[in-house]
A = this chain, B = another copy of it.
Amino acid sequence: MKLTGEMLIGQQTVKGSCDPIHAINPATDEQLEPAYPGGTQVEVEHACKLAWSAFDTYRETSLEDRAKFLETVADEIEAIGEDLIERAVAESGLSQSRIQGERGRTCGQLRLFAKTVRTGEWLDVRIDPGMPDRQPMPRVDLRQRHIALGPVAVFGASNFPLAFSVAGGDTASALAAGCPVIVKAHSAHPGTSEMVGRAIQSAINKCGLPEGVFSLIYGAGYEVGTALVTDPHIKAAGFTGSRSGGLALWKAAQSRSEPIPFYAEMSSINPVFPLPEALKVRGREMGKAFVGSLNMSAGQFCTNPGLVIAIKGPDLDAFIAAAGEAVKESAAQTMLTPGIADAYASGVKGLSSSGKVKEVARGQAGEGPNQCQTGLFVASAQDFLGSEVLQQEVFGSTSLVVECTDAAELEKVAEHLEGQLTATLQMDGADLDNAKALLPILERKAGRVMVNGWPTGVEVCDAMVHGGPFPATSDSRTTSVGTAAIFRFLRPVCYQDFPDALLPEAIKQGNSLKLKRLVDGKREA
């Protein structure tokens, strides 16, 4: 596929007129062609108006038509072939196998949402039939379904150039809900974005949908993003990225004359709690496995285990020693962008120069540019509790072990944590009471709690929660991965005493969609 560097506004391609983005191959620091000139307020407005004009039609597409569209997007992405893999590898520094896996996840995710759309469960149909003879007052006929919120702005993530970018989870769930989408491409992978954007553009054409259902815009600074979330036609936004970037856009969304839901997935250090018996039984083994999770994709996962919290003693020492050995053997890996590599280096320096941590081990130093050198540090619970630096996320493969004097201090540290995407218990049978005592805290702190696994690896399925209390996300009531993500872009509408001819299909008397509706308080079988 030949890249042109143009924005995609509906079915048109438009060359921007602002400062260009150039992708950089982080493995070589080479600049990749073509240039991607940024859009202006004019293109943002144009895309938003197109999205608005497509909205009423797109949100009423049949379940089948919408599902087929999502499947067509997946087909079109696969049809790009190896060009997409090569470009995404070049733009991200991630391995070919990782990008291949991510393409599979991205297309699988689109097809899973197609399945979810077809079930119609997300419509949450509720019917309270009229009771004209009820005393003292008759009851009117009331029917509820969910409708799409409106056009959605999506901000792609740096660390998932496919699965959390142009056709990633936010886009898939918004399209599934019936919302047109305008994507602000992440400046680290404009070429990958153009390829995937053209796949969506083509799917819209093939499915005969209104062109405004999708647009793709580039922009080097904050202007385009801010223009997008403050456009009156945009009714919600999804974002995956840094805390500072997420909060700035969140504030812009809340400062509108009509505030909108802004779903930001921001920062998480994903605490791991190896409990005493588990440490005793398999401390060394666990230490090695932990470093395996820590090193995945150079630690550039939202769910990277950046914190280990445990009770100090010989068993924890064994865990730390084994982890340290594994860290020393860890090869350097290329990070996503020069900016991320710089931030990682300065984050590690902040930790090591804090005077509060002891370095356990560092991994091998890399030779090329933008290398991530694994790091493992240890600190006392007391120092951790008293230091903001120690509590901050370092994006990359560095982790901090917090040593607690006893179970009470461990619970104190857990209570002190900010909101997280995940929390992990490493436990054996004899740790059950400890785990039961910790669980209420972890449920309050994290969107996903796991036992004897590692937080990296996020399954796309019905039960997944990739979310959590602030600042892990800006809205703990939702998830950005898995089929429940569709609920982020819906709102309920109630229809009272409608003639059947005016009712939307999902809530007509005949139930042609065969939905399992809640009728008069009872769920239909």
Residues of A whose CB lies within 8 Å of any CB of B are: 56, 60, 115, 121, 124, 126-128, 137, 139-140, 142-144, 147, 149-150, 254, 258-259, 261, 419, 432, 435-436, 439-440, 443-444, 446-453, 457, 459, 461-465, 467, 469-471, 474-479, 484, 490-499, 501-502, 516, 518, 521, 523, 525
* Contact of A496 with B258 in the complex, beta carbons under 8 Å: no
* Contact of A484 with B144 in the complex, beta carbons under 8 Å: yes
Residue of B nearest to A55 (CB): B444
Ordered by A's residue number, 21 sampled pairs between the chains whose C-beta atoms are within 8 Å are A127-B463, A128-B462, A139-B459, A142-B463, A143-B463, A144-B465, A258-B470, A261-B475, A432-B501, A435-B502, A447-B491, A447-B493, A448-B494, A449-B494, A451-B498, A451-B499, A462-B521, A476-B491, A478-B492, A479-B494, A516-B523
Chain B residues, CB < 8 A from A436: 502
**How far, in angstroms, from A121 to B444 measured CA to CA in the complex?**
21
* Contact of A493 with B463 in the complex, beta carbons under 8 Å: no
* Contact of B121 with A474 in the complex, beta carbons under 8 Å: no
Residue of B nearest to A116 (CB): B521
A84 to chain B, nearest CB (A): 20
* Contact of A463 with B432 in the complex, beta carbons under 8 Å: no
**How far, in angstroms, from A254 to B254 measured CA to CA in the complex?**
8
**How far, in angstroms, from A478 to B146 measured CA to CA in the complex?**
10
**How far, in angstroms, from A449 to B463 measured CA to CA in the complex?**
33
Q: A462-B518, A523-B121 are in contact. Are A140 and B491 (CB under 8 A)?
A: no
> In the complex this chain forms, how many copies of it are found?
2
Q: A56-B440, A149-B476, A258-B469 are in contact. Are A459 and B140 (CB under 8 A)?
A: yes
A433 to chain B, nearest CB (A): 10
Determine which of B115, B448, B501 lies in contact with A521 in the assembled complex, contact meaning CB atoms within 8 Å: B115
Chain B residues, CB < 8 A from A450: 140, 495-498
Determine which of B126, B461, B477, B493 lies in contact with A128 in the assembled complex, contact meaning CB atoms within 8 Å: B461
Chain B residues, CB < 8 A from A491: 447, 467, 469, 476-478
Chain B residues, CB < 8 A from A128: 459, 461-464
* Contact of B459 with A493 in the complex, beta carbons under 8 Å: no
**How far, in angstroms, from A144 to B463 measured CA to CA in the complex?**
5
Chain B residues, CB < 8 A from A474: 259
Chain B residues, CB < 8 A from A147: 443
Determine which of B127, B446, B457, B493 lies in contact with A443 in the assembled complex, contact meaning CB atoms within 8 Å: B493
Determine which of B126, B149, B419, B448 lies in contact with A258 in the assembled complex, contact meaning CB atoms within 8 Å: B419
Chain B residues, CB < 8 A from A449: 493-496, 498
Chain B residues, CB < 8 A from A259: 470, 474
Chain B residues, CB < 8 A from A476: 149, 491
Q: A449-B496, A479-B492 are in contact. Are A464 and B258 (CB under 8 A)?
A: no
Chain B residues, CB < 8 A from A448: 493-496
Chain B residues, CB < 8 A from A490: 477
6 extra interchain contacts, Cβ-Cβ under 8 A, other than A140-B450, A435-B502, A525-B525?
A128-B459, A258-B469, A450-B496, A451-B497, A462-B521, A467-B491
A273 to chain B, nearest CB (A): 13
Residue of B nearest to A142 (CB): B463
Residue of B nearest to A432 (CB): B501
A312 to chain B, nearest CB (A): 24
**How far, in angstroms, from A462 to B444 measured CA to CA in the complex?**
28
* Contact of B464 with A261 in the complex, beta carbons under 8 Å: no
List 4 tightest A-B contacts by C-beta distance, closest first.
Answer: A450-B496, A465-B494, A142-B463, A126-B463
**How far, in angstroms, from A201 to B351 measured CA to CA in the complex?**
50
A302 to chain B, nearest CB (A): 14
Chain B residues, CB < 8 A from A127: 463
Chain B residues, CB < 8 A from A140: 450, 453, 457, 459
Chain B residues, CB < 8 A from A142: 459, 461, 463-464
Q: A150-B444, A459-B128, A497-B451 are in contact. Are A502 and B144 (CB under 8 A)?
A: no
**How far, in angstroms, from A523 to B471 measured CA to CA in the complex?**
33
Chain B residues, CB < 8 A from A463: 126-128, 142-144, 494, 518
Chain B residues, CB < 8 A from A471: 258
Chain B residues, CB < 8 A from A516: 523
A149 to chain B, nearest CB (A): 7
